[in-house]
Structure formats: structure tokens, C-alpha cells
A and B are shown apart, each in its own frame.
Chain A
């Protein structure tokens, strides 16, 4: 649709622009929630957010290469004879949200454990911010055309057609508007989690809500994606396997908080 936007004579990827916008708006929501309840020092909040963004940045660009390397190793017969440069181009590239989420999670956990900052409090603050940032980032996916839905009939109420210029979506074909659907889902999730965080006196509700409901939504939407080139292993895509893992992590997190009386 609009994969690039011209700013001062330079073509800037709209996906990157919206990714950054999502991070900034996520920060505003994060700091608003920090100030409302004052459960964490505001300097620590800023440090944690920066570490999370940094971890997310590393994770988002390393997940795809890791999965691709695994794919190459396990089906080496298909790649034998290819040049190093061809293999390098195949393995690298592509920014992946779930990789960013995992990278951010790991970075935050390590940082908070080292500096003895409460992980449940940080997770509760982060959940609505991550949801709203991701919601905005998905608009970038829509504009870029790098993530798109399956082909549908032209009369489908949620059909969109990409013009000739896009980064991956086939041109002129009615496709299910999965990026928009996911963006709306995430926006609703962000609003609900913000309300839960502000109204609830129980720790862990906001984070558990994200860790359970986002993977469910993502798992279902994956069946309607048309860009399976991203990777399918057996019955499910990489993102579905990660969603299952996140869901299990969410359940375990909830149980751990209950056991330690921290509490959901």
C-alpha cells in the first residue's frame, strides 16, 4: 500500500516509522501507568523500558535467522550447492515481533533480577504498553505489505487489495485484512489491560492477561495468514509454536505468582 514514505527526499520504510511510533506511544502509556501507582522508581522504569526495547531490537532481528539456520541444517539436501552469499541472504533479514517480544522478555528479566527490581510489577506495567505498541506496529505491516492475509473473495467484508507496490503481498488480489484485525485486537487488549492495571489491587493480572490472550489471538489469526513463506513446521507455523510457548509461560507465571502469594 505505502511501503515507503518520502521525507526530505529520502524513502523511509513506513514499517520502521510505525515501529518507532509504537515504541514511543508505548513509552508514554508505560510512564503514565508508572506515575499513577508509583510502584516503581521512575528512573528504574526508564532504564527497564530502554533495556526492553534494546532486547526487543536484538531479538526481532535474530529469531528469523535462528529459525532459518535450523531449517537449513535439517533440510541441507535442499540447499547443497548454494553459494555462501545466497545462504546468507536467505538466513538473515526480516524483523519479527515475536522475536522482539522474547528478546525484550529475556533482557528485562535479566536486568530486573540483577538490580533486584520487582519483575511482576514491571510485567504488569509493560503488558498494556507492549500491546499498544504492537497494535501501531501492525499498521506498519499493513502499509508495507510484508505481512498479509490469505486470499479471499472480492466481496469479503474484510478484504483488502494491495496495489502493485508492496513488499510481499501479491498485487491486485483480495486478501483478508489480517494486519488490521490484529491491530484492532491488540488495541482492545491494550485498553482492557490498562483498565485492569489501574482498577485491580492484585499483582499479575495485567501481565497474565497479555500472556494468555495475545497468544490465543495470534494462534488463531495465523491460520488466516497468506504469507506462509515465513516458516511452517509440521502442522503449525513458527509463530503458532511460539504462541503456544507464550501461553504455557503465561499459565506457569500465573501459578508461580499464586504459589508465592504475589498474587493473581
Chain B
């Protein structure tokens, strides 16, 4: 529940933390990252109920999962290979 606006929406109709929600969506579209997840969570916790925040959250999760699936342990290989080269 949004403590600032008990009925859920401010009188002007703008969602709280709208900027954070948009930033989350943009980062999510650009490839998704943990930052998109963090921004979306903060927006939602501040009372943002828009689909923008949800979309940013979903894209952030998908992107982060994709990052770990593609790059986890590739880093391990790189580290070991680099150490062998040094």
C-alpha cells in the first residue's frame, strides 16, 4: 500500500517514482541487469503500480538470468587462463 496516497493514486494521476520505473524499463530493454531489478523494486515499493515498473522488473530478471547462463564460469575460464598466462 502506498502510505503517501492511501487510495493508491495521487490526485494528479502520476504514479510515484515514475522516473525510476522508466529507468528500470530502459535498462531492462537494453539488456536487462540487476540495476533494472533494483530500480523496479524501489519504484514498486514506493507505490508505483504501473505496468512500466513491472515490465522493467521482468526484463531485468530475464536479462540477469541470461547473463548468468551465458557468462557464469566463462569468467572462471578467463581467470584461470589469464593466470596461466601471467
Contacts and interface: CB of A to CB of B under 8 A. Distances in A.
Interface in B3-60: 34-35, 37-38, 41, 44-45, 57
Interface of B is mostly: helix
A12 B69 CA distance: 6
A61 B75 contact: yes
Interface residues of A, number: 36
Contacts of B86: 79, 82, 86, 90
A1 interface: no
Contacts of B76: 15, 93-95, 144, 146, 167-168
Interface string B66-81: 0011111111111111
Contact of A16 (B57, B68, B77, B81): B68
Contact of B44 (A47, A61, A94): A47
Contacts of A82: 86
Contacts of B61: 50
Contact of A17 (B44, B45, B64, B69): B69
Interface of A: 3, 12-13, 15-17, 19-20, 43-44, 47, 50-51, 53-55, 57-58, 61, 64, 79, 82, 86, 89-90, 92-95, 107, 115, 144, 146, 167-168, 229
Given A15-B73, A61-B75, 8 more contacts: A12-B70, A19-B72, A54-B37, A57-B68, A93-B74, A94-B78, A144-B73, A229-B80
5 contacts: A20-B68, A51-B41, A89-B78, A229-B80, A229-B83
Interface of B: 34-35, 37-38, 41, 44-45, 57, 61, 64-65, 68-83, 85-86
